[in-house]
Structure 1
Amino acid sequence: MSFWYFDKDELLQTASAQEGLSNELEYRYRQEGARFIIDAGTKMDLGYNTMATGVVYFHRFYMYHSFKTFPRYLTACCCLFLAGKVEETPKKCRDIIRIAKILLPANKYATLGIDPKEEVMVLERILLQTIKFDLQVDHPYKFLLKYAKCLKGDKSKLTKMVQMAWTFVNDSLCTTLCLQWEPEIIAVSLIYLACKLSKFELDDWHGRTSVHLRWWDMFIQGMNMNLLEDICHQVLDLYSSPIGKSALLSSPPPQGELVIPKKITPPQSVYQKLLIQKVAFKYNLTPEQAMQSRWPIFE
């Protein structure tokens, strides 16, 4: 089994970086590729697992290949095509190309080449070799739902918190967190973030013992606050990025019991709240002052 986790120094020394592409531009290309996979997958009525798997393939591919060599939208089409087959939700290559033509402006669609279908088929072989035929990918979604079932508290507040955490998992696809940490760790971190922002007091949980100082000790041993906060800040930083704001993914709030959403459609109020809180914290303002101020991240 291949090892797909990298430290932050390694993430700054990718194939693109070695060819002179700035880290900021590479991060932007990663966000744009992830956003395209989600947009195309949503239009094709693909499930969240298929889209997430495609995004993970995309991020892994560009650890070893440069954006200067392989156009991001062609690679994104290829990743979605392969993910559909792996997750048993296959779509024909020509249908993915057709959606790409609808979603992309002419200059970006042109990067798919004269014969996009043939380009995707050729690139698929390179993609498979790059990811070492390691096709099965676990995502934080299943761990989020598993852990949530163990938590105690007011049912409506718990549901709201879990939905917010689910939104954060969706949005984390536009970051490189899937290249840094296991899905279990991401799930715990984003539950923690959702608890903080939804003001859900998580004081008790099923299976609690005297050795559990915090709720996440039952799921992951040795999880520290520095790691938790680093992951949370990487997701929150996405909301202050002009590209990140347009690439955010979400799900409609579940009604009653926890519902696994199939599609990803954004409620903007959640993001606005996060942005206000982030600005207030960063500049030592009250939420009201942050709301009234003009900051670049709101542009």
Structure 2
Amino acid sequence: MPCWYYDKKELRERTPSILDGITYENERRYRKEGARFIMECGTKMGLGHNTMATGVVYFHRFYMFHSFRSFPRYVTACCCLFFAGKVEETPKKCRDIIKTARGILNDNYFYSFGEDPKEEVMTLERILLQTIKFDLQVEHPYTFLLKYAKCFKGDQQKLQKMVQMAWNFVNDSLSTVVCLQWEPEIIAVALIHLASKLSKFTVQDWEGRQPQHQRWWDMFVSDVTMDILEDICHQVLDLYQSTQKEAQLPNSPPQKPPSRADSPTTVKPMNPSGGGVPAQQQQPPPPPPTNNSSGNGNHLDLNNIQSIKSLANAVPSAVSCINNSNNDALTVVQQQQAPLSGPTPPGGGQANYHMYHAPPPPPPPVVPMPQYAAAAWNVQQPPPTHYNAAVAPPPPMPPNMGAPGGPGGGYYNAGRQPQQRYQ
């Protein structure tokens, strides 16, 4: 099974989006917008928490192998939600998901779905399945949160308040990348610890407590230090601080081609301070890859933006590899059959052989088939004479197999008395 956990250095420096020129802040914001879009779209469609959480995990794992420049985040989010519904046995139609997404997104963001949104989502589903390596089952902190909370002792009203707060923290943690760093049981322990601190509910006693258990989570997970728990808590708390800063900007930083995540017209959010300077000029996006071979290479042609269907055709599959191998074999055969240029070999060989090759061997001699008489096949052999009924009489019949009323009583029960049939 693949390992889906990474360290902080990989998430900050080695993701495909960062290697493609997207800053860490922009990638973090793209992930958060995609995760919240999945939660909002799933809530409007009446999906459960497990289905939405599975779609968000697929979303985060997908962009550990692909860049946000290549695949628009909202198209990927719809595809992850559509596929998670199948896995969690709560399927929704693709057209219903696209219809819900159209009601949430504006024209600028829905432009990334192209002319045929259903075709884009259905095509991306195959790429998603190959990317996650067919590892479909995902565990979430919700199950472990309820399991741990049932063992706590204390005021039930405060306990219920603390569990509800921890549940909300688990929902918000999906907008971060903690699911790519730690197991779900560790995330559940960290968020329960954070909720107990904020709700002022200290877990003093719990069921199944042993003398060697110094803290309540020692009974469920081992080798979990306070540094790990504080790191998870700080990532969730930083999410709320960044939300307040980003609420001032009307739109997220744009994505560059070859994806179609941008609107056809350039959106320039103004500085909220009122200075009239666009906010993007404060932190200009990195220069996009130059795909224009004519001119200075700085012009971006929106007509040359690739669709997901064209990107999916570039992904090799087993069928395409087999077809390519068959085509290669056919090409080799055709090249062998085609005449090769060159002088006629000495000795009078064929023209399709090179001058340095030996002439072809002579064909094998034709051996005539033997001629058989046609009447010999129709002669019928006489029957064997080793058995003579007059000399060797037939063997006697076994017992109870004679005729009815005979010496053996017959196979039938005709020779038996009616009262003897049940004895």
Is TM-score (shorter-chain normalized) higher than 0.5? yes
C-alpha spacing 1:10/1:111, structure 2 compared with 1 (3 Å): same
Amino acid at match of 1:7: D
AA matched with 1:138: E
Shift of 1:237: 0.6
Aligned to 2:228: 227
1:236-287 residue CA offsets vs partner (Å, 9 max, x unmatched) = 11110127987xxxxxxxxxxxxxxxxxxxxxxxxxxxxxxxxxxxxxxxxx
Tell me which residue corresponds to 1:107.
108
Q: C-alpha deviations, 1:97-140, integer Å up to 9, x for none?
A: 11111000101001011111001111000000000010110000
C-alpha separation in 1, matches of 2:246 and 2:144:
26
The answer to whether 1:64 aligns with 2:70 is no
Q: Does 2:160 align with 1:190?
A: no
**So what's the TM-score if we normalise by structure 2?**
0.57
Question: 2:22 matched to 1:47?
Answer: no
- Equivalent positions of 1:116-265 (< 5 A) are 116-242=117-243
Letter in structure 1 aligned against 2:89: E
For structure 1, list consecutive stretches of 5 or more residues without a partner in the other structure: 247-299
Q: Indicate the residue corresponding to 1:262 in structure 2.
A: none
- Which amino acid is the alignment partner of residue 53 of structure 2? A
Distance 2:141 2:195 in 1: 14
C-alpha separation in 2, matches of 1:42 and 1:245: 23
- What is the one-letter code of the residue matched to 1:4? W
Q: Give the C-alpha shift of residue 234 in structure 1.
A: 0.4
For 1:29-40, list aligned pairs within 5 A: 29-40=30-41
Greater share of helix residues, 1 or 2?
1
Gaps of 5+ in 2: 248-423
Runs of 4+ displaced beyond 6 Å: 243-246
Quick one: distance in 2 between partners of 1:244 and 1:86? 36
Q: For 1:156 and 1:239, locate their aligned partners in 2 and report how far apart those are by CA, in whole Å.
A: 26
CA distance in 1, matches of 2:40, 2:188: 23
1:16 touches 1:67 (CA, 8 Å); kept in 2? yes
Alignment partners' CA distance in 2, 1:21 and 1:223: 33
Distance 1:35 1:123, change over 3 A: same
User: SS state of the match for residue 64, structure 1?
Assistant: coil
CA deviations 1:154-184 (Å, max 9, x no partner) are 1101110011000100000000010000000
Secondary structure, counterpart of 1:220 in structure 2 = coil
Q: 1:7 — aligned with what? A: 7
The aligned amino acid for 1:149 is K
SS of the residue corresponding to residue 217 of structure 2 reads helix
Larger radius of gyration between Structure 1 and Structure 2: 2
| Counterparts of 2:57 and 2:225, CA distance in 1 | 25
Paired AA for residue 64 in structure 1: F
Residues 179-231 of structure 1 deviation map (CA, whole Å, 9 limit, x = unaligned): 00000000000000000000002111000001101111001111101001000
Paired AA for residue 173 in structure 1: L
Distance 1:145 1:244 in 2: 33
In the alignment, is the contact (CA less than 8 A) between 1:16 and 1:66 conserved in 2? yes
- The count of corresponding residues between Structure 1 and Structure 2 is 246
Is the Cα contact below 8 Å between 1:84 and 1:90 reproduced in 2? yes
Q: Distance in 1 between matches of 2:30 and 2:245?
A: 11
In structure 1, C-alpha distance between the alignment counterparts of 2:127 and 2:159, rounded to whole Å: 44
- Kept in 2, the 8 Å contact 1:141–1:169? The answer is yes
- Structure scoring higher RCO (CA < 8 A, sep ≥ 6) equals 1
Q: How does 1:269-284 map to 2 (within 5 A)?
A: none
Which amino acid is 2:82 matched to? F
AA matched with 2:10: E
Q: Distance in 1 between matches of 2:132 and 2:81?
A: 14
Once residues 6 and 106 of structure 2 are traced to their aligned partners in structure 1, the CA distance between those partners, rounded to angstroms, is: 34
Amino acid at match of 1:15: P
Name the SS of the counterpart of 2:64 in structure 1.
helix
SS in 2 for 1:101: helix
Give the alignment's Cα RMSD to 1 decimal. 1.1
The one-letter code matched in structure 2 to 1:78 is C
